[in-house]
Each structure stands twice: as structure tokens, then as C-alpha cells.
Chain A
């Protein structure tokens, strides 16, 4: 699917909306950045490629006007989850869906080239060819794609008003989605504790993970900083940091659509999505619920029914 087709769709949609959110080239060849199109001639800046990693649907709840947004499959689940929770007015959103076979993880590419500054990036034959001052390196896209792409069940957006390209079926087994959780659970409790102490020890409480998360809507009332109730102090101890991440993950139980933004944006490379995936796998087992797929679903933790429909008690 070419960038040209996307530009055509955007130009078609533009007169009916205040703004179209899509991607443009970022500060270097390895980065894209969100583009908010508010005048027609900005359309020429649009790009679509496997560097378009940001989840643009995250901007929707804070924009009250009529907006069009370009979404990949994982991003589109965000929109469905917003609909389940009443966080957006569906009639105010025009969804431009793009089927996607996967993006690359900027962090993995940079790790593969020794964190060198990027001079050029080309894609060909399932490879990404990266040029740095130290030379050129060819990387298999499969080796530098994020975990979420390796188990993607929704390569075609689950909701759209326009689909740019032909729908694609997933070629990844559904059972593989929580393979990483199962793998981690093979560690002993002591090993797991040591792992999280080390990882969250790096946390600088910048809240990039929290702010990039589309479902995180507590805003100024976030328990990370509120004093009424005063759950967490501002001290930089492992306990305080771990407490924030645990509460944040629990707040996302049954709501996290696994877009992976939290882990992508962490400047200290902490695998923050691990806790959320574990909770999601528990939600799947306990409630047979997958977030962000069916707009008519209600997230199980969102409501309290005395007679819980679908709950499988005592299973875990």
C-alpha cells in the first residue's frame, strides 16, 4: 500500500474534518513524528512506512472537534476501547485504517548498529538497510520488529471508515500472544523479584509510559502524585517506583489494548509492558475478554455486576 493512496484518502476526507492526524518524517531518517494536518498543502508531508510507530488514536479523547485519524490494526483497537468506555464521540471521528504487516522497533535498530547516529534508511526484500558513520548494516525486519508485531492478531484495523489497501489476515497463532508471559513465569519468584527490582530501579518517574498510554485518563488525579489519597511518596526508592507501575498496570486491567506505546517510549528501556501483558492474560482466562475488539463489549473491570457474566471463578 503506497503513501500515495493514503494521501489521496486524506485529501478526500480533509474537507469534512478540522484536522487529520497522520505521520510525517521525523528528526532523522529512522524516526517519524505525528503530523496534524490543518491546511491542505500539508498533505504532501504524509508518509506511511514501517517507521510509523506512534499510536495516533491516543490523541482523540482530548480533541473535541471532528478529527480524522490514521490507524494501524493495533491502534484501531484503541478506538474500539474508547467507544466501550465512552471516551470519544464516534460521530466526531473519521477512522482511516491501514492494514499493516508490522513496524520496526527503533530501539532494536539502534541496538543493532551500536547506537550510532543514522544517516540513511532503506527497505528492501524483508530487510532494513541502515547507514551510519561506521558503515552500512542490513538487518532482517523480523529481527528488529517489536514483540507485539510478532504475535499480531489484528493486522487489519478492527474499525474504519476508510480502508487504504486490501484487508490482511493474521498469520500468527492466537495462542502465541502470551508466550512471553508464560516464558517469564518459568522463573522462580525470587528471580522475578530480582528482575523487576533491577528494571524498575532504572525508572526516573518521567511518566512517559503513562502519558503515551491512550487508556490512561486520570490526568491530574494520577496516584503517582496526588496527596489525597496519598498512596505514593515522591521518593525515588524501588518500592515507590514499583508501586506506581503496579497500580498503573492494575488500572489498565481489561483496558490495555497492547499497543506497546508504554514500552516504546521508556527512555530507560524498561520492559514496562510485561506487567500489563500478565494482567491481560489473566483477564482473558478469567473473563474470556479481549480489549478493543468489539465496540459493544463492556470492559469487565469497568462495571460491577453481582452476577458476573462469563467470569470463571477459582480458575487461576
Chain B
């Protein structure tokens, strides 16, 4: 790609790497996962990222959108993102085929402070496609299982077909070193497990805050109630981690859109602790 950019020795933060879509997985009726590999094999081999970092994916001619890389850096045969069909770019992504080419600008942003979480219990709380950023960290931790103590995952979606990563869920259910608690919002034919909103299930499970880091991601309304629930369970603010999203364009912290005060979600985030968020003005 460098010889296609004549500016600044090819160092151009706006220039995407061309990647090919190697596999498309239909997670739910409106969510697809894309596995992509850079066309430049050398770049793919040398690519590194941290769990929680994001990338701007381009469909050239349509635009760019931000997605977390939800495969872990311990499994680098491909990069995976999950896309919920919502607007112009996500609709265009849902229209492409395996073998098509897209652009990738990655890695962007900060990452989960997983080193600070070593030796602690980890509580993941996800809703819907909010499991995507959590997935990268879950898989990373499972690949480094000995470094972490108890791992609990509370995950819910509207209905069973809306649960993402069904293969992963099967695997996590079968593991004895992961406590997976699944729930759906409403009754559904064939569903024998829990029924209830994720914040409600959190209250029922009532995990202890001692030596535990809580990491949550999901629809804004779910995050709001989960944060209230965790406060009620006496989780300290520095031990609650979330990952945010907003409309993004530059991905490098300057275009003025995703800033909360002087911090940009795309560059200084998207991962923040609740303690950090409380210091910042609203977007």
C-alpha cells in the first residue's frame, strides 16, 4: 500500500489497508460477522492489536464505520468484526460477499487494561451485540486462563435467535472454568433457560464485588441500569469498565464528533472506567 500513497513517506492515518473478506457468519437476523485478512501478507503477519481496540472499516464508495475487533490477538489467522445492520455503511456491508474487498484502518483507540485485571475475578455483562467487544477479551482471557480467577459471563438478548456467537456460547457452556448465565428478555418457544432483562438478572445473581472487575457493554439503556445495579452491589467505580460508541469519522481524535470534553472516544477510549467517565462532561 505504501507505494500507493505519495504523502509523508506513506504514513497516512486516513489511508486504509485493503483486506479481503474470507468468511461471513450470520449471527442473528440483523447481525453478521466478517472475518477479514489483509491482502498484504507481510502486513497481516506483522499486525498487532490489543483486546478492545477498534477499526474503521470501509466499503469504498459508501463510507467508513467503527467496529471493535472481536477476535483476540491470540488468534491471528484473521480479524473478526460483527456488524449490526443500522445505517448506510452497515447495510452496504451486509450486501457484500466472501471474496469482496474492504478497507481497514486499525488498530485505533485504547484497550482493556487486562494486565491490571490479572489475579482478579472477572464479571462480563453483555447485551445483544454488546457481547462483541467483550468477546475479544473473553477469548484472550480463556487463552491465558491461568492469569485470571473466576470468569462469569452474564449475557442476554431480546430473543434466542438474537443471541450472538452461538458457537462460542456452546463452548463456554461446556467449560467448567467459565460460569455462563444466559437470558432472553421474553418467553420464547423452546427456550428453557432464564427469562429477564440483563440488569434484572444481574440483581438476581448478585455477584460479590470483592477482587472483581466488572466489564459491560450493550445498548445504552442496558448500560445505564447495569451501572446502577453494580453501584447497588457496591462495586467501586474504578472496577467497572465499559466501552462506548458514538458517530465517528476520523478515528484519530480530531474531527470533533465523539469528544467528551477533551477526550475522544475513538482515541482516548473507547474503553473507560466508570471513575474516568464521571470526570468527563457528557458528549
Q: Do A and B bind each other?
A: yes
Q: Which chain A positions have C-beta within 8 A of B88? A: 227-228
Contacts of A228 in B (CB 8 A): 88
Q: What is the CB-to-nearest-CB distance from B61 to chain A, in angstroms, rounded to a whole number?
A: 11
Shortest distance in angstroms between B148's beta carbon and chain A's nearest beta carbon? 44
Min CB distance A226 to B, Å, is 10
For the complex, give the distance between the alpha carbons of A228 and B63 in Å.
Answer: 13
A228 to chain B, nearest CB (A): 7
Q: How far is the CA of A183 from the CA of B63 in the complex (A)?
A: 46
- Chain A residue at minimum C-beta to C-beta distance from B63: A227
Proximity bits, B54-65, A CB within 8 Å = 1, else 0: 000000000100
Residues of B within 8 A of A227 (CB): 63, 88
Q: How many Å from the CB of B28 to the closest CB on chain A?
A: 24
Give the size category of B's interface with A.
under 10
Q: Determine the distance from Cα of A227 to Cα of B61 in the docked complex, in whole angstroms.
A: 11
How many angstroms from the CA of A228 to the CA of B88 in the assembled complex?
8
Q: What CA separation (Å) do A304 and B211 show in the bound complex?
A: 69
Tell me the bound Cα distance from A227 to B63 in angstroms.
11
Q: For B62, give the chain A residue with the smallest CB separation.
A: A227
Shortest C-beta distance, B86 to chain A (Å), equals 13
Looking at chain A, what size class is its interface with the partner chain? Answer: under 10
CB distance from A230 to the nearest CB of B (A): 9
Q: Which residues of chain A from 198 to 237 have any CB-CB distance to chain B below 8 Å in the complex?
A: 227-228
CB distance from A220 to the nearest CB of B (A): 12
Within 8 A of A (CB), among B61-114: 63, 88
Separation in Å of the A289 CB from the closest CB of chain B? 38
Closest to B88 in A: A227
For B63, the chain A residues whose CB sits under 8 A away are: 227
Shortest C-beta distance, A225 to chain B (Å), equals 12
Distance, CA A227 to CA B62, complexed state (A)? 9
Least Cβ–Cβ distance between B87 and chain A, in angstroms: 9
**Shortest CB distance A268–B (Å):** 23
Cα–Cα distance between A98 and B52 once the two chains are bound (Å): 62
Query: Closest residue of chain B to A227, judged by CB?
Result: B88
Looking at the assembled complex, report how far the CB atom of B104 sits from the nearest CB atom of chain A, in whole angstroms.
22
The residues in A between 227 and 271 inclusive whose CB is less than 8 angstroms from any CB of B are 227-228
Bound together, the chains give a CA A227 to CA B65 distance in angstroms of: 15
Closest CB in chain B relative to A58 CB, distance in Å: 27
**Complex Cα–Cα for A254 and B63 (A):** 37
Q: What is the distance, in angstroms, from B149's C-beta to the closest C-beta of chain A?
A: 48
CB distance from B260 to the nearest CB of A (A): 22
The A26-83 residues at the B interface (CB cut-off 8 A) are none
A228 to B90, CA, bound (A): 14
Interface flags for B30-63 (1: CB within 8 Å of A; 0: not) read 0000000000000000000000000000000001
In angstroms, how far is the closest chain A Cβ from the Cβ of B250?
15
Nearest chain B CB to A136's CB is how many angstroms away? Answer: 44
Alpha-carbon distance A227/B88, docked complex (angstroms)? 8
Q: Report Cα–Cα, A195/B176, bound state, in Å.
A: 78
Q: How distant is the Cα of A261 from the Cα of B63 in the complex, in angstroms?
A: 35
In the assembled complex, how far is the CB of residue A222 from the closest CB belonging to chain B, in whole angstroms?
Answer: 16
CB distance from A280 to the nearest CB of B (A): 36
- Return B157 CB to nearest CB of chain A, in Å: 28
**Nearest B residue to A230, CB-CB:** B88
Nearest Cβ in chain B — how far from A221, in angstroms?
14
Please encode chain B, from 137 to 177, with 1 for each CB lying within 8 Å of some chain A CB and 0 for all others: 00000000000000000000000000000000000000000
Q: How far is the CB of A60 from chain B (nearest CB, A)?
A: 29
Measured in the bound complex, the distance between the Cα atoms of B92 and A227 in whole Å is 13
Q: Could you tell me the distance in whole angstroms from the C-beta of B119 to the nearest C-beta in chain A? A: 49
Please measure, in the bound complex, the distance between the C-alpha atom of A235 and the C-alpha atom of B88, giving whole angstroms: 19
How far does the Cβ of B269 sit from chain A's closest Cβ, in whole Å?
A: 26
Q: Which residue of A lies closest to B91 (CB)?
A: A228
- In the complex, A30→B63 CA distance in Å? 46
Cα–Cα distance between A52 and B270 once the two chains are bound (Å): 48
Residue of A nearest to B89 (CB): A227
Interface residues of A (CB under 8 A from B): 227-228
Residues in chain B within 8 A of chain A (CB atoms): 63, 88
Supply 3 A–B pairs (Cβ within 8 Å), ascending by A. A227-B63, A227-B88, A228-B88
**3 A-B pairs closest in CB distance:** A227-B88, A228-B88, A227-B63
